Amino acid sequence: MAHQPSLMPPPAPKTTSLHHAWSSLHADLVRLLGWQVLAGDILDYVRFRVVCAHSRSSTIAPRSHGIVDPRFHPKRWFLLPEGHGLQPADVKKRFFNLCTGVFVRAWLPFLSDSYVLDSANGLLLLQRKSQDTSAIRVLHPFTGDFVELPPLMSLVRANLDMSDGTGRVDFRSVTSISVTVDGFVAVMIKLYNISRVFFATTKDQHWSVSTWNIGWYSETISSQGKLFVLDSPTTHHREQHILQIDPPRLDHHAMSSYLLPPRLIATCPTNKISAMFYMEECVSEILVIGHDANPLFKGRMLVYKVADLIMGKVVPVTSIEGNTLFTTIDHGISIDDDDISVYVRETIAVSYKVIPTAVGDTIVRRRHLKDNSPLYYDLSSGEWSQGPAMGVC
């Protein structure tokens, strides 16, 4: 029997039907889906927008919003310190996603004549090489957006009389970056060897310095646009106080910003917490970490959530949500023919799934700076173990 041609049209390719179904979605729904994707990762959002023209027209482009809209900050991306410096020979930098383990290389032409002083929320703080009078830049590594702040180094040098006496600008810094309700970018910087906080916004004509000091032996970290200080015990109080420094506020009459003094948010009671502690950030959780024995790597590690201490709950945690916390990742350079040293101390918390040798609910530390054989502390069992040697970038 002769083959009779089918009267039915051939089935449409699946990609065509999917494309039609996607294009028929209401723009508000596509926009809502886009925000959900962006909450996970900005690069996933970029891929989401290139699916089709309908996705692009229904969602906001990251470019020009990368800095002024905190939703577009690359919060979970970590800048790798390559080549024992703060930038490689070329202008490409590698970034590591702390949740997925993905590596990407971003082309950053600004690095041809600038140093990376610090990073916060995935944004980079840049300073032109050997130019004290040049502006400080805040750069988004994936969108290319940047904003400029006034020159900083001359004010830093003017405050070296409050430093440790070395006469050098030690850019071992803690930086916070936030966005005001008016859309201005605000930056706070606490340098290691200067006891005051420098601050400015993109609306300011110059940087300012706090009228109050932070204790020399206090621990300072940055989280969610704020600075947090673990104050040392003094002759006036034996407890360790946890202080919060909020972002600069704008004085619209004076057309400048000001910084409120630190405010006490929690106390480590001496009857329950007797050891000296330090602070770290694990994802978005601030932790107070200490030891109950000396040497440090023999006894039990004590870890408290600052959120618990604020509520008066003084109970050590035995889990950090399955993450692995790597502490004291140090890298730095000294700038030739200048009196500036740039030194960065990083702490990263990664999902245990992204690194083959990582174990969940573990804190990884080194005995000292040059020791590449880390020690692992298991929070659930309370035991230390020797880890494999780490390579050096």
| DSSP per-residue letters across 190-258 | EETT-SSEEEEETT-SS-EE-SS---TT-EEEEETTEEEEEEPP-SS--SEEEEEEPPPEEETTTTEEE
Is 212 part of any domain?
A: yes
What is the phi-psi region of residue 101: left when phi exceeds 0, alpha when psi lies from -120 to 50, beta otherwise? left
Residues 39, 132 within the same domain: no
Is 184 part of any domain?
A: yes
Is 175 part of any domain?
A: yes
Residues 220, 267 within the same domain: yes
Q: pTM for this one? A: 0.83
CA distance linking residue 15 with residue 92, whole number of Å: 35
Closest C-alpha among 104, 96, 50 to residue 76: 96
Residues 109, 47 within the same domain: no
Instruction: Give the total number of structural domains in the chain.
Output: 2
Give the 3-state secondary structure of 114-160: EEEEEEECCEEEEEECCCCCCCEEEECCCCCCEEEECCCHHHHHHCH
Is 141 part of any domain?
A: yes
Q: Burial-class residue 169 by CB neighbours within 10 Å (0-12, 13-18, 19+).
A: buried
Residues 109, 197 within the same domain: yes
Q: What is the mean pLDDT of the chain?
A: 80
**What range does the domain containing 32 cover?**
22-58
Residues 334, 264 within the same domain: yes
**Predicted pLDDT at 37:** 94
Last residue of a domain, one of 58, 79, 111: 58
Residues 136, 32 within the same domain: no
Q: What parts of the chain have a pLDDT lower than 50?
A: 1-9, 84-86, 329-337, 339-344, 393
Helix axes 42-49, 27-40, angle to 10 degrees: 150
Residues 134, 52 within the same domain: no
Residues 26, 166 within the same domain: no
| Cα torsion through 355, 358, 362, 366, rounded to 10 | -100
Last residue of a domain, one of 11, 30, 58: 58
Residues 48, 172 within the same domain: no
Is 213 part of any domain?
A: yes
**Predicted pLDDT at 162:** 55
Whether the CA torsion 156, 160, 163, 168 is positive or negative: it is: positive
CA-based radius of gyration for the chain: 24
**Predicted pLDDT at 261:** 96
